[in-house]
A and B are shown apart, each in its own frame.
Chain A
């Protein structure tokens, strides 16, 4: 069966420090991968999605970047964190490439920037 892992589960970082959040998927090949941010009272906002290795689409201009170095690995990064980067970050995957496909979410990483 397929599983999705995210780490770390929680992270507290000072303003201006770098960030690296990792997401890996097991049990499937060539998934579509997504990074979302959930801020209080704002629902889930799609940040990046990827349909294959090295292919990244950015949805929102921001202080973050994403990379997909391997088929089932998706990394969210920042060179210098801002206070506004605090939030709950969710990784998700889907297969099929269609709009009707179910997305499967990871456990999330809660990031607090101080």
Chain B
């Protein structure tokens, strides 16, 4: 069974501070995705990383895929209240018959003004 562990489970910070969320697994994934989910809504895709060692930046968000494609991190610089939400990482595995996505348990981020 492939598992993705996210840490921390909960993070509360002040506006303007930086934060990092980690996503770790013992399994190799063909790609890793980060989502943000707000209450009452479905997850919204933020980024997909594919290559080991890859770094992607999306405004104040920086995503990194580990060299071995087993772990990833999300770093937010100068967090704003609008960054509040549940952050989910998900690893994709390709099978002969189809593909599936394994999600981590999520990190709930609260940015206080």
Bound pair: A and B? no
Q: Using CB atoms and an 8 Å cutoff, list the residues of chain A in contact with chain B.
A: none
Q: Using CB atoms and an 8 Å cutoff, list the residues of chain B in contact with chain A.
A: none
